[in-house]
Amino acid sequence: MDGAALASAEELPLPNCNVCRRAPVTNRWYSSCLPCRDKRNESKRRTKEKKREQRMRAFQAITRDNIPTSSSSSQNVSAGKKRKVPEEESKADALERMRKRFKKMELVKAADVAPKPVSATHSETVFEKYVDDKNLYKAIKRRYPDSANSIRFYGTYAIIAIPNVNNKLKARQVARDLRSSTPLHFNLEDLEAYPDGTAYIVHYKCTCRAMPPRRASDLSAYFGSKSKPAVDETPKDACRGRIDIRVEDDRSHSKGWLGQRIKVTLNHPKM
Ligand SMILES: [Zn+2]
Ligand SMILES: [Zn+2]
């Protein structure tokens, strides 16, 4: 019978589903039957959805209390001058930033599993804790009323991070505040700055023996034809005092908020 021969050539019996082993596979390209495929796809979808929800819950726990409320906290106020949160940063932008930050945090957490090398100075130095920036500045003023004093100061405080101020920006902000709220002398533009992992560090030289900024080129220009050999950029009698600011992620908050820890180190020789 021609009809039967034709049929068997076109429709070789499909193998059975390799999941339920009962129904034939959907077609030759698949290894499972239609109901089994549907089931598997559905469970994949649910797992994906669950993971997304977990991420969102964790993210929201951090952001809920973390969206900048214009000018409430001290971190936006610098010596009476209010620093405005830029208008163009919409709430959506802020959330996006927080999301990125949170992702970074997750990576950092994963990295925490491995013992990480801690820079010697930071593991040994004990920083005195202050409630906030104001109290830290007060302590500096009290212990360092003028630049003739010798001082070794290690102070720290923590804040809840806000989305548009990363560790680098925060370090520069602290430097400005430190300069305007304490008797410390340093040139905001003359700094050494670099990241240390997710932390950010800035160093300033004390300029208490205030000399106009000098460079070898300025000097030779000043002395004109009597051009001296290039000298050291810093005059010999420059103060060796140092102001160091370190801003790092602070994940110690009990409610899981992402914070920033600010560490201020002052080292000043007696005049
Ligand atoms: Zn099946
Ligand atoms: Zn000095």
Residue 151 CA: which ligand is closest? 2
189 and 204 in contact (C-beta within 8 Å)? no
Question: What is d(CA 146, CA 159) in angstroms, rounded to the nearest whole number?
Answer: 28
Question: What is d(CA 200, CA 89) in angstroms, rounded to the nearest whole number?
Answer: 23
pLDDT score for 10: 56
Q: What is the pLDDT along the chain (271 residues), one digit of tens a residue?
A: 444 445 544 567 888 999 999 888 988 888 899 999 999 999 999 998 888 777 766 766 766 655 544 444 444 444 444 444 555 567 677 777 777 776 666 655 555 544 444 454 555 789 999 999 999 999 999 988 776 678 899 999 999 888 788 999 999 999 999 999 998 999 999 999 999 999 999 999 999 886 554 445 554 554 444 444 444 444 567 888 999 999 999 988 877 788 899 999 999 888 7
- For the beta carbon of residue 24, count every other beta carbon within 10 angstroms: 12
Q: How far is the CA of 228 from the centre of ligand 2 (A)?
A: 27
Which amino acid is residue 253, in one-letter code?
Answer: H
Q: How far is the CA of 26 from the centre of ligand 1 (A)?
A: 9
The dihedral over CA atoms of 154, 157, 162, 166, expressed in degrees to the nearest 10, equals: 10
Q: Where are the domains of the chain?
A: 28-64, 74-268
Residue 208 CA: which ligand is closest? 2
Residue 32 CA: which ligand is closest? 1
Q: How far is the CA of 153 from the centre of ligand 2 (A)?
A: 14
pLDDT score for 107: 59
Characterize 193-210 residue by residue with b for buried, 16 or more Cβ atoms within 10 angstroms of its Cβ, and e for exposed.
eeeeebbbbbbbbbbbee
